[in-house]
A = this chain, B = another copy of it.
Amino acid sequence: MSATIIDGKQVASEVRAEVATGVAAFVERHGRAPGLATILVGDDAASAVYVGGKQKACAEVGIQGFDHRLPGDATREQLVALIEQLNADERVSGILCQLPLPGHLDGVEMTNLIAAEKDVDGLTVGSAGRLALGLPGLRPCTPAGVIRLLDHAGAQLSGAEAVVIGRSNLFGKPMAQLLLQRNATVTIAHSRTRDLEAVAARADVLIAAVGRAEMVRGRWIKPGATVIDVGINRLAEPPAGRRSSLVGDVCFDEAFPVAGAITPVPGGVGPMTIAQLLANTLQAAELQAG
């Protein structure tokens, strides 16, 4: 017995194809494309790569990209003015402020200036509240992408024991909410959890998002469980027998013989985030168009 590998690249490309179809229909009805504005402050190399990837993905599905860049010493007033301008711009369906911001700017404050209906990252207070209360709204991209992967893998969520390791605002907490909405019995574990191995071993659905390379070992996994690895950690060199030096939070080689299904790193959860951002942008455009 060994696990089915959940192919995130394939599922992400399905999502992108669905979005492209939806965008074409939107253009047909409204005479314009949905638009995604990205804001990058400063010249952090990794952030520039992320923003570039998002803009490229928009172009591929027909979403109009608005690529805004401010210098690293931009003032709070400049950034506020830009966000307010984008909030008011009807061509802009979604707004994404790439984090982290330079130290003199408050990422939480700036994110919360984004109009609720354009919050395609799902990270504002309004979006978090709508999720917590079970109201419709834009959901954070990575947890939404994980739900899509679980559905693709045929995971039974209702009544399942789901364990999320990690409690960030970006992933762990909204992930738990989405699993609860799907009627899983949800446990959130974290750095203070006493016996993490025992908690993980209860999980029918185990989701690791801790940012520690290969922390989740094979013996932590309930036989047959569905394992979702959200971590992306770069080792100094590739592990024996691998080409990539990227590894997840799960020790794949140990987990593979035990799990029922598992996402690889890379090629698992990673590709879903941008795909879901595109889906959120289309959803936002459709909601704004009524």
Interface range for A:
35 or more
**Contact of A159 with B192 at beta-carbon distance under 8 Å, contacts A135-B108, A169-B134 already known:** yes
Least distance between A43 CB and chain B CB atoms (Å): 28
Measured between beta carbons, the chain B residues less than 8 angstroms from A251 are none
Q: Are B124 and A129 neighbours in the complex by a CB distance under 8 Å?
A: yes
- A240 nearest CB across to chain B (Å): 34
- The answer to whether residues A190 and B185 also contact, given A125-B135, A126-B129, A128-B128 and a CB cut-off of 8 A, is yes
| A133 at the B interface (CB under 8 A) | yes
A129/B125 contact (C-beta < 8 A), A193-B185, A194-B185 known: yes
Q: How many copies make up the complex? A: 2
Contact A189 B193 (CB under 8 A): no
How far in angstroms is the closest Cβ of chain B from A191? 9
What is the CA–CA distance of A187 and B160 in the complex, to the nearest angstrom? 12
Q: What are the residues of chain B within 8 A of A265 when measuring CB–CB?
A: none
Q: How far is the CA of A102 from the CA of B129 in the complex (A)?
A: 25
Q: Is A187 in contact with B186, judged by CB distance below 8 angstroms?
A: yes
For A124, list chain B residues within 8 Å (CB). 129
Task: Contact check, A133 vs B169: say whether CB atoms are below 8 A apart.
Answer: yes
Q: Interface code A121-158, partner B: CB below 8 Å = 1, 0 otherwise?
A: 00011111111111100000000000000000000001
Residue among A159, A188, A199 facing the most chain B CB atoms (10 A cut-off): A188
A130: chain B residues within 8 A (beta carbon): 125, 129
Q: A164-199: contact bitstring with B at CB < 8 Å (1 yes, 0 no)?
A: 000101000110110010010111111011100001
A270-289 interface code vs B (CB 8 A; 1 in, 0 out): 00000000000000000000
Which residues of A (93-134) have their CB < 8 Å from a CB of B?
108, 124-134
- Point out residues on A near B: beta carbons under 8 Å: 108, 124-135, 158-161, 167, 169, 173-174, 176-177, 180, 183, 185-190, 192-194, 199
